[in-house]
Chain A
Amino acid sequence: MDNKRKYVIPGDLVTTGPFRPEQNVLLEGNKIISTSIGISEIYDDSVRVIPLTGKYIPKINDLVIAKVLSHTSLSWELDINSCYVGFLPAQDVFGRDFSAHADELTSKLKTGDLVAARIANFDRTRDPLLTISDRDLGKIDSGALVQISPSKVPRLIGKRGTMIQTIEIATNAAITIGQNGWVVVSCESTEGLLKAKKAIQMVDEKAHIANLTDQVKEMLESESES
């Protein structure tokens, strides 16, 4: 597998042949061409490019952290750190019997509020539809927001969640990671909060380095000693 991975830029030919194009590649004839800067990966029957930079592109079922920008009488508009604006219908929050006359949207969510939401629907032709009607979703009342690059989110989670578990255990913080690169850290002690924030920023800066989990662990341990 490893010998098939290479760095590509938009327009680069990744491979030719009967492959299924997945994320960030185009199929032209039998040529597969990258559409972003990243690392190409060729599997048995498919090809994809893992981006190294870029804005968040919504995917159905992704958990995102969103910020309320404004609202109309029927819905809220949310910033999801993307080129698309998230769209949260009032019915999702008030329930089926929502009435535009009787219910005031700002009573539930107002400009500047942060929410944990899931992408309910998205097909690139319309703005992504969000939902907060699920367990663990909804308005975030406490904690601090850390912003990292959306392409570094998998690194922050780590293989089977190892990286994030390391940080959570060492700092006693509860960390909610949005796929859009926004992360909410809440911790009872200020010290733990700052440490967790520092660790997350470290992952963002050093995402390309191997053995990062060990480095983060080391940093967290050395901090707690001092």
Chain B
Amino acid sequence: MASHSVIDELKKTQILELLDQEKRVDGRALDEPREISIETNAVPKANGSAKVRLGDTEVLCGVKIQPDRPFPDMGDKGIFICTAELLPLSHPSVETGPPQPHVIELARVVDRGIRESHMIDLSQLVIEKGKSVVGVFSDIVVIDYDGNLFDACSYAATAALLTSTTPKWTMVDDKPTIVNGEEIPLPTTTIPVSVTMGKIGNHIIVDPNGDEWDSMDARITITTNSDGNICALQKGGNDGFTQEEVVQCGEISVRVGAKIREKLKEAQQGSR
């Protein structure tokens, strides 16, 4: 995808001509994301999981929770790590092998949105300070690609974490041991929602599909938390955004994000 797929000039012209009339190729409004469907507990053996469809983009996220050694400088906090991977079946241009730069970026942007919003209360995930903490690993695979992986992966990871349950551990003989009993939900504080916007010509569009993704000049991903505050941002592409455009994007991300947050809440309640 991204690096190898070439969009034909006719389609590119068509996209731009439609945007000049405030229209999009798939009939959406400029600030309208595609239809989102969230299926939680899609992987029965994981601590939490979610399958998200955003239009024709489909991703699956699984969460594994297990005791781990803390980072040396963060002995009083649990660990959160997020990875992402594109399956070769997701798009003709995806090949096996080491991850491409844009896939590394994908994992980093999703990770940052969750980390910087302080969604997971990592201070509650300590078994013994400096010795053993709880690690939360969220692994995302892309099953089908049609643009905007950032948001699809971000919603999948967030939905999976919101519905994750974790066992309790205590230290027995210097080793973390599971305390028998019920599993508790992962301690979360907020729901981060990322909104990716593309810039084609002078137009800002929300949630670009595959064709729009290939023809856009620049993109910006803004993550907001439940209070409507911006907590993470990533800009990509060769073109730039003017100051006004950045402000406009910020406003869109808060407004559109709020609606998507409701869907994530629904998914969370539906799984209980």
Residues of chain A touching chain B, judged by Cβ–Cβ distance below 8 Å, are: 67-69, 79, 111-114, 140, 142-145
Contact = CB atoms under 8 A, between A and B. Distances in A.
A14 B9 CA distance: 44
Contact of B12 (A79, A112, A142): A112
Interface size class of B (residues with CB under 8 A): under 10
Contact of B10 (A68, A69, A79, A145): A145
Q: Is the interface of B mostly helix, strand, loop or mixed?
A: helix
Given A114-B8, A144-B10, A145-B11, 12 more contacts: A67-B6, A68-B6, A69-B6, A111-B6, A112-B6, A112-B7, A112-B9, A112-B12, A113-B9, A142-B10, A144-B11, A145-B8
Interface string B1-39: 000001111111010000000000000000000000000
12 contacts: A111-B6, A112-B6, A112-B7, A112-B8, A112-B9, A112-B12, A114-B10, A140-B10, A143-B10, A144-B11, A145-B8, A145-B10
Nearest to A143: B10
Nearest to B13: A142
A218 B7 CA distance: 34
The 8 closest A-B pairs by CB, nearest first: A112-B9, A114-B8, A67-B8, A112-B6, A113-B9, A112-B8, A69-B6, A111-B6
Contacts of B14: 144
A144 B14 CA distance: 8
Contacts of B7: 112
Nearest to A184: B10
A142 B6 CA distance: 18
Contacts of A79: 6
A184 to B, nearest CB: 8
B154 to A, nearest CB: 30
A140 to B, nearest CB: 7
A76 to B, nearest CB: 12
B144 to A, nearest CB: 17
Q: Which one of B6, B10, B12, B14 has the highest number of Cβ atoms from chain A below 10 Å of its Cβ? A: B10
A145 B11 CA distance: 8
A143 B14 CA distance: 9
B174 to A, nearest CB: 58
Nearest to B214: A112
B191 to A, nearest CB: 39
Most buried by A among B6, B8, B9, B11: B8
Nearest to B7: A112
A69 B4 CA distance: 9
Contacts of B6: 67-69, 79, 111-112
A117 to B, nearest CB: 14
A142 B11 CA distance: 10
B14 to A, nearest CB: 7
Nearest to B14: A144
A223 B12 CA distance: 28
A194 B8 CA distance: 18
A111 B6 CA distance: 7
A192 to B, nearest CB: 15
Contacts of A111: 6
Interface string B116-130: 000000000000000
B89 to A, nearest CB: 16
